[in-house]
Amino acid sequence: MSIITLENKQFSIDSSNFIYSKCSSRPSKSVVNPENYTKYKSIKETFSFLDGSQDLSFKECIGYIFGAKIKIDKTVYILDNETYKVVNFTDNKFKILTKNLNDKHSNYIIIVNDIYTYPKIQYIYMLSNFFTNVKIVSSQLMSYKLIVCHKRITNLDFEIKDNYIKDFDIKVDELLVKYIKDDNDTFLENTINMNQVVNSMCKSLSQISNLNRETYTINKYYKAFINKECSTYCNCKINSIFYSNLFECYICENCLILTRVFP
């Protein structure tokens, strides 16, 4: 889990310096290792051990910062007694997103599946000018992040003429860029490794049944983890413990405790 908090900032934003582009930006070297990104993109079907992973990841991430959660409908939640509007940001369309963030609500949760481009980081950084604080919350298992914008102070007053932006002409704090890059690289490396393990496990039927067992247990674990239901009262009998090749750890199928044994 990682949570990065950006407190309110007061830097100047000059819309006349924005540089536009015809399409969505390509991943930036400063934000993701390009070699791993290419490898990751070449995986035809990334192995996912989670079903309904979008909803689960949302639940996981809001669970890190909010206590009381009430879902009003698909886009409105009451979290710790404050109303939040949920906005999807999947296609880099900054103009639409900005319009959404200026509506009648004052708290927002932006869903981003990845932060691989520099303009995206610039934009998130810019948001800290208009909100009391902005939190970037990452899932532990998926390439899934929430940008939680708390209490808008003023309307987003910069002008975006077109959807795709190449550069907002904002210098982002280097530590933040490094943090996001580390997070991106870790996720890509894990996904690439996991894909290799899955491929090598699919060579015999008995290994496929192991994979099924792992998938089933990890699913169960993730759901229990999110719902804070991992039981701690268990004797962990030897026949309920198995080694997960995917997670490189031992899992007790009964209480779902993960144990990493270091050599």
Name which position in 61, 110, 142, 252 contacts Zn ion (CB under 5 A). Answer: 252
Determine the Cα–Cα distance for residues 111 and 137; give it in Å rounded to an integer.
Answer: 10
In the complex, least distance from residue 97 CB atom to Zn ion, rounded to whole angstroms: 45
In the complex, least distance from residue 248 CB atom to Zn ion, rounded to whole angstroms: 18
In the complex, least distance from residue 219 CB atom to Zn ion, rounded to whole angstroms: 17
User: What DSSP element (H or E) covers 88?
Assistant: strand 82-88
Q: Is 192 in the site for Zn ion (CB under 5 A)?
A: no
Question: Which CB sits closer to Zn ion, 10 or 232?
Answer: 232
> How many residues interact with Zn ion (rule CB under 5 A)?
5
Question: Which CB sits closer to Zn ion, 70 or 234?
Answer: 234
Question: Which CB sits closer to Zn ion, 55 or 229?
Answer: 229
* Among the residue ranges 40-48, 102-110, 210-218, 251-259, the one whose residues contact Zn ion (CB under 5 A): 251-259
Q: Is 249 in the site for Zn ion (CB under 5 A)?
A: no
Determine the Cα–Cα distance for residues 122 and 13; give it in Å rounded to an integer.
Answer: 11
In the complex, least distance from residue 254 CB atom to Zn ion, rounded to whole angstroms: 4
Asked if 85 and 76 touch (Cβ cutoff 8 Å), the reply is: yes
Determine the Cα–Cα distance for residues 193 and 189; give it in Å rounded to an integer.
Answer: 6
Q: Is 255 in the site for Zn ion (CB under 5 A)?
A: yes
Question: Which CB sits closer to Zn ion, 212 or 240?
Answer: 240
Tokens of 183: 């997070």
Site for Zn ion in 215-244 (CB under 5 A): 234, 236
The CA-to-CA distance between both ends of the chain, in Å, stands at 24
Contacts of 130 (CB under 8 A, 6+ apart): 101, 149, 152, 153, 154, 155, 156
Determine the Cα–Cα distance for residues 110 and 235; give it in Å rounded to an integer.
Answer: 42
Q: Is 110 in the site for Zn ion (CB under 5 A)?
A: no
Question: Which CB sits closer to Zn ion, 43 or 230?
Answer: 230
In the complex, least distance from residue 201 CB atom to Zn ion, rounded to whole angstroms: 24
In the complex, least distance from residue 247 CB atom to Zn ion, rounded to whole angstroms: 16
Determine the Cα–Cα distance for residues 123 and 137; give it in Å rounded to an integer.
Answer: 16
Question: Other C-beta atoms within 10 Å of 209: how many?
Answer: 10
Tokens of 37: 């990104």
Question: Which CB sits closer to Zn ion, 113 or 254?
Answer: 254
Q: Is 254 in the site for Zn ion (CB under 5 A)?
A: yes
Determine the Cα–Cα distance for residues 131 and 156; give it in Å rounded to an integer.
Answer: 9
Which residue type does 46 have? T
**Interacting residues toward Zn ion by CB under 5 A:** 234, 236, 252, 254-255
